[in-house]
C-alpha cells in the first residue's frame, strides 16, 4: 500500500481510515484504488497544475476515497471526504476539483437536497470546461438535465447547459 500511494502520509492515513471504517481488506482497497486511480489519471492528465506529485497524489487519493465511500453507500463519509478535497484545492479551485463537486452533487441529489445538488453540479461543469479531457462533461450535463426535471424545470430539461 505504501508503494501504491507513493508513501505520502495523508494518502496513507486516508486509506487506513477507509479500511478501518469499512472493514475491507488491504487487497480489496488496493484493487479499488487502482481502478479509480487509473480513471482519474486519464481524466486529469496535466490538470494538477504546477503542484508537486505529493500534492497531486493527495488530491487523487482523497477523491478516490470519496468515490469508494460513495460506491459503498457511505454518503455522509463521502460528503466529508469530498469537502476535504475542496479544502485542499483552496479558494481558487483547480479544474481537478470538478470530481469532488460532482460527487457532492450526486450525493445531495440522492438526499433530495436539490438546491445543493444544483450548486455543486454547476460548479463541476464550470471546472470541467477548463479541462482538456472532457469525457465526463456529457455525464454531468445529463445529471444536470435530470436535476432540472426533478426541480420541475421542464423547459430547462430540454435546453443544454453547455454553450
Quick one: which of 131, 133, 69, 160 has its CA closest to 106? 69
Class of domain 9-158: mainly alpha
The upper half-sphere exposure of residue 162, i.e. CA atoms within 13 Å in the direction of its Cβ, equals 15
The string of pLDDT tens digits covering residues 23-76 is 878 888 877 777 766 555 544 444 445 555 566 677 777 888 898 889 889 999
**Residue of higher predicted confidence among 93 and 144:** 144
Domain boundaries defined on the chain = 9-158
Q: Which three cell numbers stand for residue 152?
A: 420541475
Q: What is the pTM of this model?
A: 0.66
Does position 163 have pLDDT exceeding 50, yes or no?
Answer: no
Mind listing the pLDDT tens digit for each residue in 113-148?
Answer: 999 999 999 999 888 877 765 566 677 788 888 888
Amino acid at each position: 500500500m505504501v508503494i501504491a500511494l507513493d508513501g505520502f502520509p495523508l494518502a496513507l492515513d486516508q486509506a487506513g481510515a477507509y479500511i478501518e471504517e469499512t472493514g475491507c481488506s488491504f487487497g480489496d482497497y488496493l484493487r479499488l484504488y487502482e481502478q479509480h486511480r487509473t480513471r482519474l489519471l486519464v481524466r486529469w492528465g496535466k490538470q494538477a497544475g504546477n503542484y508537486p506529485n505529493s500534492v497531486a497524489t493527495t488530491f487523487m487519493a482523497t477523491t478516490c476515497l470519496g468515490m469508494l465511500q460513495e460506491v459503498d453507500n457511505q454518503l455522509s463519509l463521502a460528503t466529508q471526504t469530498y469537502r476535504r478535497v475542496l479544502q485542499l484545492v483552496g479558494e481558487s479551485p483547480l479544474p481537478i476539483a470538478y470530481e469532488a463537486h460532482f460527487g457532492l452533487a450526486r450525493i445531495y441529489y440522492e438526499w433530495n437536497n436539490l438546491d445543493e445538488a444544483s450548486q455543486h453540479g454547476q460548479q463541476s461543469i464550470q471546472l470541467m470546461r477548463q479541462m482538456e479531457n472532457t469525457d465526463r462533461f456529457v455525464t454531468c450535463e445529463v445529471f444536470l438535465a435530470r436535476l432540472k426535471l426533478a426541480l420541475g424545470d421542464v423547459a430547462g430539461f430540454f435546453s443544454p447547459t453547455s454553450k
